[in-house]
Amino acid sequence: MSVKMTKYKHAEFADDDTSVGSVQFGEGITSSATHIRYYTSKSMWKKRSMLEKLLLIIVITLLFVIMVLAFLLAAADTRIRESTVLNVDDLEKPCLTKDCIEIASSILQAMDTTVDPCDDFYSYACNGWIKANPIPEGKSNWGTFMKLEQENQLIVKHILEKPIENLKSKAEQKAKLYYESCLDVNETIEALGAKPMINLMNKIGGWNVTNNNFSISSWSLQNVLQLIQNKYNIGALFSYVVGEDDRNSSRHVIQIDQSGLTLPTRDHYLNATANEKLLKAYSDYMTKVGVLLGGEPNATQDQMQAVINFETKLANITTPNELRRDEESLYHMMSISELQDRAGFIDWKLFFENALKIVGKRKISPKENIVVYAPEYLEKLSSLIQEYQKTDDGKIVLNNYFMWQTIKTFTSFLSKAFRDAYKGLRKVLLGTAEGGEEPQWRYCIADTNNVLGFAIGAIFVREVFQGDSKTQAEAMVTNVRTAFKNNFKNLNWMDLETRLGAEEKADAISDMIGYPEFILHPSQLDERYNILDIRRDEYFENNIKINFYALRKNLEKINEPVNKTTWSMSPPTVNAYYTPTKNQMVFPAGILQKPFYDAKYPPSLNYGGMGVVLGHELTHGFDDQGREYDKDGNLHQWWNNKTIEKFKERTKCVVNQYNKFKINNKNINGNQTLGENIADNGGLKAAFHAYLTVEKNQSVPPALPGLNLTHRQIFFVAFAQVWCSSAINETANLQIEKDSHSPAKVRVLGSLANLKEFSNEFKCKVGSKMNPKEKCEVW
């Protein structure tokens, strides 16, 4: 997971109803293959000679020995087959309490035991869940994460729909007002139609497409950029933020990066033939919106195509994300005057003075240092802009581009006609589940959580979060951290000095669980949102204010010391994240619930679910990007050179391995997903060994009924079932193209296939799909 864990998801076992080589004792001795009958008649015995008697005794004795050996071999064979599923001793007395039965039932219903776990563990663990959980209306994918999110939404909805005086703080009341403005119970949004957007366009300088108040003679690139970036907080051409300085994480610094594309990836523009349908849908969407705002259809389409052509040129000078994984090579500290020399398409000193005056900083020295993550992009951008500025037609294209970036940011806050215009593009990008749209209230709860997340968090925590969940999660963090560090001594590719530094860093990683304390204090919560004015019937204007509020809160940091205990994710969020400059991992209350964690679960389930999440975020501190930051969150080389070389050899193994995985006949991008794949593998291993320690120090709980699985095996089933999900083909394809995480099925199969402990527990033969001869191991 980068800053999100995303936001960041399968042997048939006999029930012992047969026995090979069964032996029955009755009138005679019966095996499955031979029937021997002997008699003990004294008259017949007396007639035998001594030699005959001796031979007969030997034969009978041999036959008896053969039968006993056959019985023992059959029993041993049965035990061997059973041991691939269960430890018989563990299952002699299963737990039959109500909780155990419900837990076992839930696990079993999600499984498909007709699948060999050594062939496809994801299908084995998840096919039942996928069959029982079709993608809901209005969704293009569905999984345990999203299902839990929807349950959380119901909790918040129940509170927000109570009378406003029942809420505990002004911040929560603002959340209710914003939620109601989104629901548009008074149909104000529909009555206003395009008017809010037309007013905004006029404030920015008009749009040539709709012939309203646009004047080429008075148009200024500098003025337009400053308006949309420094007032409406819209990233066009480039993006900038105030963040922790990677090389000195105790201070804030302005950071600039490449940005400005509408479609998800640069390849969507550059691979025009493969994406013909998508580019056509994008053009249609732009044209529909332009016409709704007053444009003539043909002229609008032509001008929007010119904007697409410009965005294609931006894509051409944009560096692919998979080539931007080395944080040290991305970091370029330079003065504003140096940036001006390299990319002089605007006056940078004037631009940043215009931004920082919002927080009272009026003047900036040309020597002021900023961090540039894409200097080559900005140099090429400067040449591109200069080319367009040579003619009036080129200037019109630039203004149309800026206006389009503004319009597409705010169209979702307009009437239904504007929202419907996006459906065609959404269909091509994501696909759509049959049957209609997601209920508006769900969209509005999610939207409210996005913009007033800590106010929503106060409601959520008060309603559902139990204090003991936080205490037990902290104990799990300690156990997983210890297991992760203990493994260092097994890594022969690390030199001693680097290993000791890695142990120090692991110890220094701070963990924040549940929620920030300030949300429980109404006065502190109100202070956070005191400058934000929210009104019930002004959804569009509310979002204009929220964009400016977010910009101002970010810019305020330029005058403040770094606070390494701040949260970047709201408490109800079903996710987690690690921040390298803070060396901090955060686990919101939203994820500390079933199926990730429950106080009633046995440790095998909690460590297989939440334990792996904890291990995943911990390992991010040591993935290909996180490892470049030291224990204090500073970017520099603190590893031995030879150790770095050996580390990179191991990451190449991971890249090559994941490159071979396919979903919908499309290969995973091993470079793009490298950090998350390292975290998946390392997190699973650390969590399992943490569980083994717990198992050693505590008595193993009784087996869960009906599962025929040991608790160690249940650990792996729990891990896999966290990722049970399905997606429409278009969404799955987009994830492969865009996401830094591998698809859910690959996350399960790749991690388990690399872990020898998994194959040991399920007795997977070397060379089987889940136990390949060649494995990749980083941590």
Q: Which amino acid is at 437?
A: E
Tell me the C-alpha distance between 579 and 242, whole Å.
Answer: 15
Q: How far apart, in Å, do the first and last CA atoms of the chain sit?
A: 16
Choice among 353, 447, 617, 623 that is catalytic: 617
Q: Is 617 a catalytic residue?
A: yes
Say which of 112, 538, 680, 761 is annotated catalytic: 680
DSSP secondary structure string, 519-564?
GGSHHHHHHHTTT----TT-HHHHHHHHHHHHHHHHHHGGGS---T
CA dihedral 656, 657, 661, 667 (to 10 degrees): -10
Cα 707 versus chain centre, distance: 29
DSSP state of 207: B
Q: Residue 109 class from Cβ within 10 Å (0-12 exposed, 13-18 middle, 19+ buried)?
A: exposed
Please give the backbone phi and psi of residue 514, each rounded to the nearest 5 degrees, phi first.
Answer: 95, -75
* Whether 190 is catalytic: no
Q: What's the CA gap between 171 and 519, in Å, rounded?
A: 10
Q: Copy the structure tokens of residue 156.
A: 């918040």
**Beta-bridge partners for 335:** 369
Q: Which residue has the tokens 């504003």?
A: 336
Residue with tokens 């399905």: 726
89 to 72, 82, 605, 708: CA distances (angstroms) = 18, 11, 20, 11
Buried-exposed string 363-391: b where 16+ CB fall within 10 A, e elsewhere: ebeeebebbbbbbebbbbbeebbeebeee
* Among the listed residues 153, 174, 161, the one whose alpha carbon sits nearest the alpha carbon of residue 538: 174
Q: What tokens does 707 get?
A: 């599962």
As a three-state string, the secondary structure of 715-746 is HHHHHHHHCCEEECHHHHHHHHHHCCCCCHHH
Q: What are the helix (H) ranges across 84-143?
A: 98-110, 121-132
Rama region for 431: left / alpha / beta (φ>0; ψ in -120 to 50; rest):
left
DSSP string, 605-650: HHIIIIIHHHHHHHHHTTSTTGGGB-TTS-BS--S-HHHHHHHHHH
Q: Residue 602 has which token pair?
A: 């046995």
The residues carrying an active-site annotation are 617, 680
